[in-house]
Amino acid sequence: AKRSGRGTYRFFVDAMAEQSRSRRLLEEDLRRALSRGEFALHYQPFVDLATGGVRGVEALIRWFHPRRGLISPAEFIPVAEECGLIDPIGDWVIQEAVTAARKLPRHMTVAINLSPIQLKRPGFTLGVIHALGDSGLSPERLEFEITETALLNQDGSILAALGQLRDLGIRISLDDFGTGYSSLSYLRSFPIDKIKIDRSFVADLVDSTDSAAIVRAVVGLGHDLGIETTAEGVETSDQAVMLTAMGCTAGQGYLYARPAPIDDIIASLTTRYPT
Ligand code: C2E
Ligand code: CA
Ligand code: CA
Ligand code: CA
């Protein structure tokens, strides 16, 4: 028993050493990724459920690592947040996305994911104003997505920054809604224009009456509070039919389109909605 105990211990020590080594390597590579042009943005449309028309697109970052290939933002964004790289990467995302948005039809918005760290940086709002000025995109066509977990236990600086952005006419979305804590209180204390219902609820929608009840309640709450609702991760037409019947504003997911470079999205818009 003693030996197997020690063996297990050794296993964990080795595993942890390996983990911190690969983490250090990832961090080093991440430091060079921006200047080496290894990032790209893909865009995923979101669709008006009542009309089927594309309302806008969400920018999603992609990292093409020279050796490892494509690395998911779910893996490297948390690393970037911890090692202070989220600000330069986030600035690049904003610059790139507002420029790309100029290529879209004027009624469409572009949504950008934000880390709470970006919102806490003094001067963030000013940077956004400059990016909008340089690109000529009007603030009404820009949306920022922030997760409810990001709002947890924050000082007033995030609330103040969100208020400033909203005063400019930029829209604020609450991302991954339903996965964090005390979601409902955020709707009262933060200036929110849109709720994005987390994909996990949408995935269960057809088979789970509980998930269906939650989604219906969130959509109803949105209606009453004047907040739009977007369902994430819509993959089947059954899900879309249910969401439409519930009065959900918009849907986003593989059923409509996968994330793709902006020119591919624009090409698909003109074939699907010829002018
Ligand atoms: P998110 O903001 O919740 O983005 C939605 C994720 O779901 C994206 O993953 C998207 O590709 C994926 N998705 C979309 N439709 C479907 C579907 O029908 N089924 C399934 N299974 N998945 C779908 P992605 O692109 O890997 O991004 C993961 C997360 O990384 C994002 O989650 C967001 O939190 C973060 N992220 C992405 N880009 C940025 C960025 O520029 N800045 C920051 N701070 N975070 C980002
Ligand atoms: Ca998002
Ligand atoms: Ca989300
Ligand atoms: Ca997410």
pLDDT at residue number 150: 78
Closest ligand to C-alpha of residue 77 is: 1
What average pLDDT score do residues 24-42 get? Answer: 95
Q: By percentage, how much of the chain surpasses pLDDT 70?
A: 95
What average pLDDT score do residues 28-57 get? Answer: 97
Q: Is the pLDDT of residue 212 over 60?
A: yes
pLDDT at residue number 33: 97
pLDDT band at residue 15 under the 50/70/90 scheme: confident
Q: Is the pLDDT of residue 31 over 80?
A: yes
CA-CA-CA-CA torsion sign (132, 136, 140, 141): negative
What average pLDDT score do residues 201-223 get? Answer: 95
Residue whose CA lies nearest to ligand 1 atom number 12: 233
User: Is the Cβ atom of 74 under 6 angstroms away from ligand 1?
Assistant: yes
Q: For all residues of the chain together, what is the average pLDDT?
A: 92
Residue whose CA lies nearest to ligand 1 atom number 27: 73
Residue 133, CA distances (Å) to 101, 102, 205 in order: 13, 12, 42
Q: What angle do CA 173, 85, 132 make, to 5 degrees?
A: 50
pLDDT band at residue 3 under the 50/70/90 scheme: low
Q: Is the pLDDT of residue 244 over 60?
A: yes
pLDDT digits (tens, 9 = 90+) for 106-163: 999 999 999 999 999 999 999 999 999 999 999 999 999 998 877 776 778 888 999 9
Q: Which of 45, 113, 41 is nearest to 252 (CA)?
A: 45
What average pLDDT score do residues 177-196 get? Answer: 83
Residue pair 270/49 in contact by the 8 Å Cβ criterion: no
Q: Which atom of ligand 1 is nearest to the CA of 145?
A: 2
Q: What is the 3-state secondary structure (H, E, C) of the chain?
A: CHHHHHHHHHHHHHHHHHHHHHHHHHHHHHHHHCCCCCEEEEEEEEEECCCCCEEEEEEEEEEEECCCEEECHHHHHHHHHHCCCHHHHHHHHHHHHHHHHCCCCCCCEEEEECCHHHHHCCCHHHHHHHHHHHHCCCHHHEEEEEEHHHHCCCCHHHHHHHHHHHHCCCEEEEEEECCCCCHHHHHHHCCCCEEEECHHHHHHCCCCHHHHHHHHHHHHHHHHHCCEEEECCCCCHHHHHHHHHHCCCEECCCCCCCCECHHHHHHHHHHHCCC
User: Is the Cβ atom of 254 under 6 angstroms away from ligand 1?
Assistant: yes
Widest distance between CA atoms in the chain: 75
pLDDT at residue number 233: 98
pLDDT at residue number 186: 79
pLDDT band at residue 182 under the 50/70/90 scheme: low
What residues does 197 pair with on adjacent strands? 177, 231
ipTM: 0.98
Q: Is the pLDDT of residue 274 over 60?
A: no
Cα 168 to ligand 2 centroid, rounded to whole Å: 21
Q: Which atom of ligand 1 is nearest to the CA of 74?
A: 30
Whole-model pTM: value is 0.94
pLDDT at residue number 16: 83
The rounded distance, in Å, linking the Cα atoms of 23 and 196 is: 31
pLDDT at residue number 184: 78
Residue 192, CA distances (Å) to 14, 55, 151, 197 in order: 46, 18, 12, 14
Least confident window among 20-29, 167-176, 185-194: 185-194
Q: Is the pLDDT of residue 192 over 70?
A: yes
pLDDT at residue number 149: 78
CA-CA-CA-CA torsion sign (245, 255, 40, 22): positive
Q: Is the pLDDT of residue 275 over 60?
A: no
Q: Is the pLDDT of residue 11 over 70?
A: yes
Least confident window among 50-64, 163-177, 181-195: 181-195
Residue whose CA lies nearest to ligand 1 atom number 19: 233
pLDDT at residue number 18: 83
